[in-house]
Amino acid sequence: MITKEKKARRIAVISGKGGVGKTVITANLAGALSSLGRRILVIDADLGLANLDILLGLDPKLTIQDALHGKHTVEEVLMATNQGFDLLPAGSGVPEGAVMTPAMAEKMDLFLAPLETKYDAILFDVGAGIGDVVLLFANLAHDIILVVTPEPTSLMDAYASIKILNQSYMRSEFLLVVNQANPKNYDQVGRTVATHLQNISSRFLESASPVQIKLIGSIPQDPAIPNSIRHRQLLASISPQAPATRLLNNLARVIDTTSLS
């Protein structure tokens, strides 16, 4: 009997707006999933302004751009982190990183193929906005996690991301994480934001694939987060009892049971 080898679940973590904590959530989610026994690869998909390596206290000598240009293999670029997951780092301040050519997009597909059988999940830490690189990685993913804050500008940019992915790529399902919510009522803030985005999408987006927004986590403002960034460590390592740590661990369990089981 021939059995198909299980392939990794590809999860794109996106945000319409920068500064919402997307990279922090990606890194901590990867660490939490690894602690659950999952084999995780994180690809820094912000090809022009990468900073995952900084957040993790790493100093990569090679980046995904080296592999894309054929200078090194993907295996040579891959880095193991001391948080239990692997990282495919990208370069920062690289002008061509903001543009995804058809040739580079084809190479990205080729890169993913041999990696998919080695991991349970591949997380794409995608840059902000709705440029070509962002849309490529979002469309390559099985699941899209949209990170927003309760600020009006973040919600407006999140809706713009939903709109273009729905109307141009027929993506209809979005997993929502509300970050930087009021610590006193973060659960209610999360539900309010999710309802707001769902109502706007249902009202204004006419599509053969109606948008469905599922709230999977609401993370409160927590001083442990900037502290972990300053120390270039994950929350679980430096502040294991912090509210944000607990809720990010809960988020990992949601992903583990709904997407990876």
Summarised one tens digit per residue, pLDDT across range 175-200 is: 999 999 999 999 999 999 999 999 99
CATH number of the domain enclosing 246 = 3.40.50.300
Helix (H, G, I), strand (E, B) or coil at 114: helix
- 30 is in which domain, residue-wise? 9-258
pLDDT at 152 over 70: yes
Average pLDDT, integer, range 20-47: 95
Q: Which residues does residue 178 pair with via DSSP β-bridges, in sequence order?
A: 148, 218
Name the residue type at position 144: I
Residue 92 covered by a domain: yes
Name the residue type at position 79: M
Buried b (16+ CB within 10 A) or exposed e, 81-91: bebbbbbbbbb
Total domain count for the chain? 1
What is d(CA 29, CA 18) in angstroms, rounded to the nearest whole number?
A: 18
Band of residue 4 on the pLDDT scale cut at 50, 70, 90: low
Helix (H, G, I), strand (E, B) or coil at 129: coil
Helix (H, G, I), strand (E, B) or coil at 106: helix
Band of residue 238 on the pLDDT scale cut at 50, 70, 90: very high
Residue 208 covered by a domain: yes
Strand 173-181 relative to strand 143-148, pairing:
parallel
pLDDT at 1 over 60: no
Band of residue 93 on the pLDDT scale cut at 50, 70, 90: low
The answer to whether 52 and 234 are in contact (CB under 8 A) is no
Residue 3 covered by a domain: no
What is d(CA 9, CA 93) in angstroms, rounded to the nearest whole number?
A: 29
Residue 1 covered by a domain: no
Taking each helix axis from N to C end, the angle separating 224-231 and 22-35, rounded to the nearest 10 degrees, works out to 80
Q: How far is CA 116 from CA 145, 174, 196, 254, in A?
A: 19, 22, 36, 21
pLDDT digits (tens, 9 = 90+) for 103-121: 777 777 778 888 999 999 9
Token look-up 């987060």 returns 225
Token look-up 């939490």 returns 32
Residue 246 covered by a domain: yes
Residue 2 covered by a domain: no
Can you list the positions of beta strands (E) in the chain?
9-15, 40-45, 79-80, 86-88, 121-128, 143-148, 173-181, 212-220
